[in-house]
Structure 1
Amino acid sequence: MTEHKLPAWSSYTFQYQGQLRGRTKIIFVNAFCAPPPANARKQLVVVLDGGPCYFTLKYDPGQRKFFDLQFNGVA
C-alpha cells in the first residue's frame, strides 16, 4: 500500500449538504483541495481519483459523531 501525505488543511474547500439516513438527519461533507469550480456554490463537486486531495465524510449531529470517511483513490 502506498502512503500519501494530506495537503495542508487550509488548502481545502468544504461543501455541506443536509441529508436523511432513514429518519436520522446527517450532514454530508465533501472536501477538495483543488480550486473550486464556478458551480461549487450550487452543485456538489464530484471527482474520481485524485487521492487525498478529495474526501467525503458524514456527521451525525444527534450523536456528535463523524463516520464513513472516504478518500478518493489514485489511478
Structure 2
Amino acid sequence: MGSAALLLALLIGAAPPQSEDYTVLPPDMAAGLLKQCSRATPKPGESGWTPGKDDIARLEARIPGFLALAAELTSWDAKSRSELKDAPKGWLRQYVGIVRGGKRFIYGNFLPAKHGDWGEWRTEPMIVCDGGPVFFGLEYDVEKDRITDLAFNGSIA
C-alpha cells in the first residue's frame, strides 16, 4: 500500500461513524446536544469518547423493546404509539459519547426524518422546542448494555 493510500485509510478509519440516518458527533459537542429546549437530558460527563459502529448497533437493537415497554407504562395516545413503533427507523439520530464517573454512555438525539429539512444535522447539535413525543432523547450505558434514560419533548398544546 502506497503512503498516500495508507494515509487515506488512516483518515477514513479515524472518522466518526455515520450512516444514511445517523451521525456520531465529536465529544466536544456533548454540552450543546445536552441543552435541549423542552425535555430533560442526562448530566454531562467529565469527558467524552467516540462510539463505534458496533456500539451504535448494540444501542439501536435495544430501542424497539425499550419504547414498547415505555408505551405500556404510559398513557400515550394511539398516534404516538404508532409513530414510535418503528424507531429507530424513520428518525435521524445524533449520537455523542459521554464519560461520567468513569463509565461510558452514549446520548442519542432523535429527530423524525419526515418532519422537515434538518440542514446541518450531521455536524451541529439539533435543538427542537416542543414537538411532542416524536422528538426524544435517550442515554445508553455501554457497559451494562441498556438504555438508562429516555425523555420526550413537550407539546405546545
What TM-score does the superposition give when structure 1 sets the normalisation length?
A: 0.83
Choose 51-60 or 37-46, whichever is displaced more: 37-46
Q: Which runs of 4+ in 1 moved over 6 A?
A: none
Amino acid at match of 1:42: T
Q: Which has the larger radius of gyration?
A: 2
Alignment match, 1:16: 95
Q: How many residue pairs get matched?
A: 74
Match of 1:32 among 101, 104, 111: 111
**Structure 2 regions of 5+ residues with no counterpart?**
1-74
Name the CA distance, whole Å, in 1 between partners of 2:116 and 2:90: 9
Select the structure that is richer in helix. 2
Deviations 1:26-72 (A, max 9, x none): 00011011345221111121111100110000001100010110000
Contact 1:13–1:36 under 8 Å retained in 2: no
Q: Give the RMSD, CA atoms, in angstroms.
A: 1.8
Name the CA distance, whole Å, in 2 between partners of 1:22 and 1:35: 37
Deviations 1:11-34 (A, max 9, x none): 211111111122111000110113
Alignment match, 1:70: 151
What TM-score does the superposition give when structure 2 sets the normalisation length?
A: 0.43
Name the CA distance, whole Å, in 1 between partners of 2:116 and 2:151: 20
Select the structure that is richer in strand. 1
The CA deviation at 1:3 is 3.5
- SS of the residue corresponding to residue 52 of structure 1 reads helix
Match of 1:41 among 122, 125, 132: 122
Amino acid at match of 2:133: P
- SS of the residue corresponding to residue 27 of structure 1 reads strand
